[in-house]
Structure 1
Amino acid sequence: MYITRNILLVSFICSDVGGKTLHTWAGIEDGRHLNEEITHLVKTDERFEKIKGNIEKVDVLIIDEVSMISAKVLHQVQVLCKEVRNSSFIFGNIQVILVGDFYQLPPISNQLNGDNGKYCFTLPWFDDYFQHKICLPLIHRQTDVSLIKCINELETGEVSDESVGFINSLNRPIENEEAATQLFAKNLDVDIFNYKKLNTLEGKLKVYKSKDEGSHHYLNKFLAPKNLALKVGCPVMLVKNLSDKLVNGLRGVVTALDTYSVDVKFILHDKDITSNIKTTKFTTFDLVDKTILAKRVQLPLKVAYAITVHKSQGMSLHNVVVNCENCYQAGQVGVAVGRAVSITGLRVLNFKKSLCKSHSIQVKGFYKNINLGHVDANLTCCRKEQLSESNEEYDDTCGDPPVVNPDIDSDYEFFYFCFNENEDAFIEQVQTVRSKEALSNVMKEFIDTPMETIMLSFEEDIRHNYQSFDNWFKNQYSVIEDIGLNCYPEDVHKFSQKHRNDFFQNI
């Protein structure tokens, strides 16, 4: 049996649960509020009365696709639950279950809101609270053994020659390919494909123009397009939560085009539901200055013949064409191929083994330590009272927490044996080895590309003149360090987005 990478991290045994996004359930929106601010709003603002009820009444909180939940978000939800319930226990003594796969795509960072996109398991209190970790071996989406084995290898980044041959065999036409969902790594490729496909659809084209205010830089980052072109019969996807049922990522088909709204037929729980979608407001908020940097009023829809791999995570697709071009993130190809229900409805284009990136040592360290742990009969093992002060004040900007049981290569062990009497010499040797390994990893990006010959020559020059290059790098690092000392306060807990903006502006 091939073991999947799905991980269930539990603090209690659960019962019933209702489904909605974590951000909606907790009322944290796009993360624009500080912990103290969102706590005050939920406790006192009547607009958050429903959110307050969610937190006060819930018995069991199950968070799915937890690999996409950042450390900052999970910590904020934990603090919010504890404060709203006036409890000394982590999460306010709510029973919490996390379900996810850290070999899939990581959280998306949001530097404007001070979220560096770190994995939630890097939180200082994570292992202490989520003591029981269970690997679930049963596959529900696929039944083909070869496909399951291939997906597991793609996710970990350790792909065998057998699986490479298997993936290459999937580059062939499939039945009903015209109606298949296309997956791309980049939004630009998605938009180009959707534009071409929409032009082939018969019917009258209607363009909905947005109303914009503020910075063009941030306006261009909104998922809702400036000009939304639609036809009756074209597939679309919601890009914002509108209700508990109409959520971000839900796909449907346009059935009618009105002057200021669109009728879309969605399939919810195997039932067709037609909803009239009206314009809504999208904003980008500056957490430091408390101002809106950009605002767009537009229909919360995108044409969805093609979607990004990120948007597809969690979906099951019966007909899908995966374009691997630009899939440079670890686990990205595995997530894309893993959306397919069967081989017959899957086509894979532009695959190269060099696209299969290995995950960080943090993820590997996490998977090396999966075990059930000790379970008390009365479940007191899962009830953790107030965090220590250092953990309670956890700041996502303060650097990575220590890696749990990192792999140590034999080369490093050799260096340690030789230089254990001279720590400085040992550190310098290890850094040199890691720098050269990093160079090799960078070079993998250019294999089978037009730049390969040029980059190989560049790599050779660096290796032959490594000391000169290393000295140059250290000089640059020293300059950057000086800028940092001038921009950041000495107390790391006082870092803010303004300090980071000043730093990068000076750079």
Structure 2
Amino acid sequence: MKPFSALLSSFRSFSTNPVISNGGKPRTFDRAMNIKWTDQQLQVIEAVKSCQSVFITGSAGTGKTKLIEEIVKVLRKIHGKQGVFVTASTGIAACALSGQTIHSFAGVGLAEADSGTLLTRVLSDKRASKRWMNAKALVIDEISMIDGELFDKLEYVARGVMGSKSDASKAELVWGGIQLVVSGDFFQLPPVAKLNDRKFAFEADCWDHTFQFQAALNSVFRQSDLEYVRILEGIRKGELNAEDEKILEQRVLGNEDELDNTVVRLFPRNVDVDRVNQKRLHELGEEIVVYEAFDTGTEPWKSQLNQGIAPTRLQLCKGARVMLTKNTNVKGKLVNGATGTITGFVNLRKGKVKKICRYDGGMILPLVKFDSGHEAVINASKWEVTEGDEVKAGRLQLPLVLAWATSIHKSQGMTLDKLYTDLSRAFGYGMSYVAFSRVRNLDGLYLSGFKPSSVKAHPKVQAFYKKTFE
């Protein structure tokens, strides 16, 4: 089969439609759910309804995830549940959307082999080839962490499978005729690769020929502090001015001990997160209650649950600082990233049960006083790995994690009231922006080791956004 580069002449008349606007006045799209969309978001939804492939990007907090959730509903109405596959570059993002990782969907493993070898592997895998054949629409979230070479390999596999198993003419169509909805911000975390070998997804040969519609969302909902929104955009693009540098320098602490318990510490490495959380947990001297996750399904699907935000084993005690990892009551401000303190445990049935797993004799649940003032008993939530319309694996666990510290990677998608991060540590492209953009306003930001040089955006990303959206 021809590589994509050999098909470029077939797509000379193909053009994308990049869109960037001021967002317009919010409009009510779904009165039943009381969801308000901007005119710009509605343009994206209409493009999806017309079966166009779209790329959705934008600053942190512009509602990309909510829009993707709505788009999945739209796609399922068009193609049926069995024809829509929801994926993401990471397990955390995939679990948040009740989907699967793109590697798992595609059946390409680590995708280190060349395109031809990967196609042969997928064609010999009945389950993987069936997924591709059933796919009418493919959603890929957190695209910034997908390498450009992988993006081209996936496109090649899509054409190869669709052309050999479905309709030979589809081998000449980009992505074999599958409708793509891709979301993410390239100014955030980049692909995991050696610096010199890094190739962004937008550098893939097939990128410009994949999308008929590209939109950069710019109405920020997470932050209401307009000055901070402006500063964040400068951090995102690596374009801090002297005035903004002075403002950020005022957020530098003289001593980390000045922080109170309500401030979440962000680290680039999980080992630092675990060290801080375990140390603070045991310093409380309270009896520790252990919650073991209850998993269903079979391998390799169950293993994907371990890549998500819900832990296999969760240790809690009275006085522990915790963070919600799911929206449980949006009106009550109990949302992903909300922090609070465990004030006690509630017995739902008689008997003292210290674990939830295959429990049938009773259980106890934590009572959390959130920093917003709300108090709630936190019950178990479910995370699922789906393939089309079929649930392949599920995990029942409390939607909580210890919150004295968390990692920058795990904080993606969260909204925090207060955070502290040490910028003297090794920060790569996009890490500072991801960290800064988790917090609602400037007053909730606490820094250590701040240097303007730690705020940087990749030149290739800057050039791509300027070319596509400016």
Structure 2 partner of 1:153 = 234
User: Shift of the alpha carbon at 1:199?
Assistant: 2.3
Structure 2 partner of 1:314 = 413
2:419 aligned with 1:336: no
Question: Cα–Cα, structure 1 residues 55 and 229, in superposed 2: closer, same or farther, change >3 Å?
Answer: closer
2:468 aligned with 1:370: yes
User: Shift of the alpha carbon at 1:93?
Assistant: 0.7
- Contact 2:155-2:206 within 8 A present in 1 as well: no
Which of 253, 273, 284 is the matching residue for 2:380? 273
Q: Match for 1:16: what amino acid? A: L
Q: For residue 178 of structure 1, give the secondary structure of its aligned residue in structure 2.
A: coil
User: Shift of the alpha carbon at 1:152?
Assistant: 0.9
> Which one is further off, 90-99 or 350-359?
350-359
2:183 aligned with 1:95: no
Tell me, in whole angstroms, the C-alpha distance in 2 between the residues paired with 1:264 and 1:30. 41
2:262 aligned with 1:182: no
Q: Match for 2:467: what amino acid? A: N
Higher strand share: 2
2:25 aligned with 1:25: no
Tell me, in whole angstroms, the C-alpha distance in 1 between the residues paired with 2:115 and 2:277. 40
Structure 1 partner of 2:281 = 198
Q: Match for 1:96: what amino acid? A: L
Q: Deviations over 1:262-289 (max 9, x none)?
A: 99999xxx99435799xxxxxxxxxxxx
2:139 aligned with 1:62: yes
Which of 144, 156, 160 is the matching residue for 2:225? 144
Question: Cα–Cα, structure 1 residues 33 and 177, in superposed 2: closer, same or farther, change >3 Å?
Answer: farther
Q: Deviations over 1:475-496 (max 9, x none)?
A: xxxxxxxxxxxxxxxxxxxxxx
2:190 aligned with 1:106: yes
Which of 291, 313, 316 is the matching residue for 1:232? 316
TM-score where L is the length of structure 2: 0.53
Tell me, in whole angstroms, the C-alpha distance in 1 between the residues paired with 2:22 and 2:192. 27
TM-score where L is the length of structure 1: 0.49
Structure 2 partner of 1:123 = 204
Structure 2 partner of 1:84 = 161
Contiguous gaps of at least 5 residues in structure 1: 209-221, 239-248, 278-300, 373-507
User: Shift of the alpha carbon at 1:127?
Assistant: 2.2
Give 1:327-476 correspondences, 5 Å limit. Answer: 327-360=426-459, 362-371=460-469
Tell me, in whole angstroms, the C-alpha distance in 2 between the residues paired with 1:340 and 1:264. 32
Q: For residue 134 of structure 1, give the secondary structure of its aligned residue in structure 2.
A: strand
Q: Deviations over 1:219-247 (max 9, x none)?
A: xxx999xxx99633465999xxxxxxxxx
- Contact 1:327-1:333 within 8 A present in 2 as well: no
Q: Match for 1:185: what amino acid? A: P
Q: Match for 2:465: what amino acid? A: Y
- Contact 1:107-1:119 within 8 A present in 2 as well: yes
User: Shift of the alpha carbon at 1:161?
Assistant: 2.4
User: Shift of the alpha carbon at 1:77?
Assistant: 2.1
Tell me, in whole angstroms, the C-alpha distance in 1 between the residues paired with 2:21 and 2:271. 36
Give 1:250-261 correspondences, 5 Å limit. Answer: none
Q: For residue 273 of structure 2, give the secondary structure of its aligned residue in structure 1.
A: helix
Tell me, in whole angstroms, the C-alpha distance in 2 between the residues paired with 1:70 and 1:251. 32
- Contact 1:174-1:347 within 8 A present in 2 as well: no
Q: Match for 2:106: what amino acid? A: A
Q: Match for 1:154: what amino acid? A: I
Q: For residue 96 of structure 1, give the secondary structure of its aligned residue in structure 2.
A: strand
Give 1:200-219 correspondences, 5 Å limit. Answer: 200-201=283-284, 202-204=286-288
Question: Cα–Cα, structure 1 residues 276 and 55, in superposed 2: closer, same or farther, change >3 Å?
Answer: closer
Structure 2 partner of 1:16 = 75
Contiguous gaps of at least 5 residues in structure 2: 1-19, 24-40, 55-70, 77-85, 87-96, 164-169, 293-305, 326-335, 346-352, 367-376, 385-399
Q: For residue 218 of structure 2, give the secondary structure of its aligned residue in structure 1.
A: coil
User: Shift of the alpha carbon at 1:366?
Assistant: 0.9
User: Shift of the alpha carbon at 1:363?
Assistant: 1.8
Q: Match for 2:468: what amino acid? A: I
Q: Match for 1:186: what amino acid? A: R
Q: For residue 85 of structure 1, give the secondary structure of its aligned residue in structure 2.
A: helix
User: Shift of the alpha carbon at 1:336?
Assistant: 0.5
Q: For residue 196 of structure 1, give the secondary structure of its aligned residue in structure 2.
A: helix
Q: Match for 1:326: what amino acid? A: R
Between the two proteins, the alignment pairs up a number of residues equal to: 312
Tell me, in whole angstroms, the C-alpha distance in 2 between the residues paired with 1:368 and 1:26. 32
Q: Deviations over 1:48-102 (max 9, x none)?
A: x2x4444333333232221111113222321222222222212111111322222
Question: Cα–Cα, structure 1 residues 26 and 159, in superposed 2: closer, same or farther, change >3 Å?
Answer: same
Across the aligned residues of Structure 1 and Structure 2, the Cα RMSD in angstroms comes to 5.0
> Which one is further off, 167-176 or 310-319?
167-176
Q: Deviations over 1:439-476 (max 9, x none)?
A: xxxxxxxxxxxxxxxxxxxxxxxxxxxxxxxxxxxxxx
- Contact 2:337-2:416 within 8 A present in 1 as well: no
Aligned-pair identity in percent equals 24
